[in-house]
Amino acid sequence: MSDDATTPEDQAQSANPTAPPTRLLSTSVLVIGTGGAGLRASIELAERGVEVLAVGKRRTHDAHTTLAAGGINAALGTMDPEDSWRQHAADTLRESYFLADPEIVETITRSAARGIEDLERWGMPFAREADGRLSQRFFGAHTYRRTCYAGDYTGLEIQRTLMRRARELDVPIIDTVYITRLLVADGAVFGAYGFDIVTGQEVQIDADAVILAAGGHTRIWRYTSSRRDENTGDSFRLAALAGARIRDAELVQFHPSGLLSPEDAAGTLVSEAARGEGGVLRNVRGERFMERYDPARKELSTRDRVALANFTEIAEGRGTENGGVLLDVSHLPREQILERLPRVYRTLIDLQMLDITTTPIEVAPTAHYSMGGVWVRPEDHGTGVDGLYAIGEASSGLHGANRLGGNSLIELLVYGRITGAEAARYARARTRIERDPRAVEIAHEEIRAFLTGDGIEVPRRLQREVRDVMSAHAGVVRTEDGLREGLERIQELETRALGVTAHPDIAGFDDLAHAFDLLGSLLAARATLESAIERRETRGCHNRADFPEQDPQLRGNMVWSPDSGVVFEPLPEVPEDLRDLVEAPADDSSEGRLVE
């Protein structure tokens, strides 16, 4: 090397003389994300004796998985012996509006029982009947009782169980690392690059395989159940820049009841248990409007229908001054509310000093779950980039246009195990690794540009504008004109984002994290808008006011990439052995069922 040659480490020191040199780590398999999906994959790798490192950008004990309340599905037949994996698959396909991949659906429903057994073996405190059987309850759109649960803290208990098992196996976890780029050479991944959120130290992680488990993109809407630093589209950007594709970006589940205030908690969920216990939805005129939209089930209708009803009341001028509707449980006995809805009661006291036993709650639809994500193969969740896999909400293929309640948690368990095993096999078989110094340099320069720039744009301000654009133009109901206007606005924000400068302070490098959150949000927004334009129909969560009917020709996926835009890919037919179950008349009654 000549005397005047410089390395990324030299450049970092020159730009910031106090910056520590890049930290170099190596492992057989790198797992990005330390929620339920990432932990389950890490456990599988450790049990197989394969070196694994799990990294995340927020504390593992507070991963998004902990917010899942309702339950986890498996056709165990403990309550209804007639249930089967085939019926579970049929319910999933029907609720997906036939946009789910039949092979992915079959894999998950066949393997669900093993996922529950794994959790039991590791000490998961499931609710049980008096005779010791696992309790299972109805969720909306399920033919039988197949949802296992642990009170209304199911996700939290799953996360705790997986964390405990990971500790037993000595799985190394670093939960202060923000991954900004995947490192790829000749179509194969060789690691990842990022920085420590606390110290700002850049981190290069060399790996034989990478599993992406970093969540979805619901934070790009104004009202969302995701917290500020999660589900900002990281997975979309990491995968797309590495050469993978995004499937079904336009298919986003909106929860009917998110809070409108306070500002920093807008979108926080009011559990659907509030409606399940007898809560009533009213507009500003005091009308119980669900009688117009679903006279039989009213507030116990499916999530997509209630969200659409709430949106319609607000859009047509029957909402509150703040743009919401009223969810009222105050007619219920106080004791019932405190016993059955303790989290809802506590949340409203904490956030608004509002007593739900006497006062209605102001709510509006809130972006809740990314049903699309990185395109993956059904057999192993490979992405098409050698050595790169995606699981959990980062991936796609199971939910289609409407997620069956309770399916997201079992997806983590099933494909966490399958993909962990496949990544182990791939890493062991890999005998030659190409590493491209230019890929490392690009990742380093991207971080350095944010820290040394002189632009005046503030990342969080632009993030807010992204959310405003998506809420205005790609919310519950969409039109071609609105989507195209939204795309023009996003293009303007992409230009302004070139002028973003990050300003770390004594508290850490959160501002740099916000800058990369912005990049992920912009890419995810573009993918969503362009895909939504091409889906010229109304199907499940995707409501097109200009195309109100379902189009049989669009039974397939919108697959997006930065280079080729949107490509439509038809889906295979439902297997013959499932077809009769799928086409059988569904029981739409709400008797004895929880909402989704």
**pLDDT by position in tens, the chain (length 596):** 344 444 555 554 544 555 689 999 999 999 999 999 999 999 999 999 999 999 999 888 888 888 877 789 999 999 999 999 999 999 999 999 999 999 999 999 999 999 999 999 999 999 999 999 999 987 767 889 999 988 778 899 999 999 999 999 999 999 999 999 999 999 999 999 999 999 999 999 999 999 999 999 999 999 998 888 899 999 999 999 999 999 999 999 999 999 999 988 889 888 877 887 899 999 999 999 999 999 988 888 878 889 999 999 999 999 999 999 999 999 999 999 998 788 889 999 999 999 999 999 999 999 999 999 999 999 999 999 999 999 999 999 999 999 988 899 999 999 999 999 999 999 999 999 999 999 999 999 999 999 999 999 999 999 999 999 999 999 999 999 999 999 999 999 999 999 999 999 888 999 999 999 999 999 999 999 999 999 999 999 999 999 999 999 999 999 999 999 999 999 999 998 898 898 887 665 555 555 54
> In sequence order, which residues have a C-beta less than 8 Å from that of residue 508 and are 6 or more positions away?
197, 198, 199, 200
**3-class secondary-structure state, position 59:** coil
- Alpha-carbon gap, residue 414 to 61, rounded angstroms: 21
- Alpha-carbon gap, residue 303 to 362, rounded angstroms: 17
Helix and strand numbers (H, E) in the chain are: 17, 19
**3-class secondary-structure state, position 91:** helix
- From first CA to last CA, the distance across the chain in angstroms is 62
- Alpha-carbon gap, residue 584 to 436, rounded angstroms: 54
Token digits for 339? Answer: 């016993």
41, 391 contact by CB (below 8 A): yes
- Alpha-carbon gap, residue 428 to 120, rounded angstroms: 30
Token digits for 46? Answer: 């450790």
pLDDT score of 7: 55
Amino acid at 6: T
- Alpha-carbon gap, residue 326 to 330, rounded angstroms: 11
- Alpha-carbon gap, residue 556 to 533, rounded angstroms: 15
Alpha-carbon separation of residue 543 from 35, 246, 253, 549, 566 (angstroms)? 31, 20, 11, 9, 19
Task: Classify the C-alpha dihedral 427-428-434-436 as positive or negative.
Answer: positive
Task: Report the candidate in 109, 199, 190, 181 with the shortest Cα–Cα distance to residue 146.
Answer: 109
Token digits for 532? Answer: 């939504």
Query: How many residues belong to the chain?
Result: 596
165, 122 contact by CB (below 8 A): yes
Q: What is the set of active-site residues?
A: 255, 275
Task: Report the candidate in 12, 33, 22 with the shortest Cα–Cα distance to residue 450.
Answer: 12
Task: Report the candidate in 251, 272, 270, 256 with the shortest Cα–Cα distance to residue 138.
Answer: 272
The strands making up 565-570's β-sheet, listed across from edge to edge, are 373-374, 246-247, 556-561, 565-570
Strands (E), 33-117: 52-55, 72-73
440, 8 contact by CB (below 8 A): yes
Task: Classify the C-alpha dihedral 45-50-56-62 as positive or negative.
Answer: positive
Task: Classify the C-alpha dihedral 70-76-78-81 as positive or negative.
Answer: positive
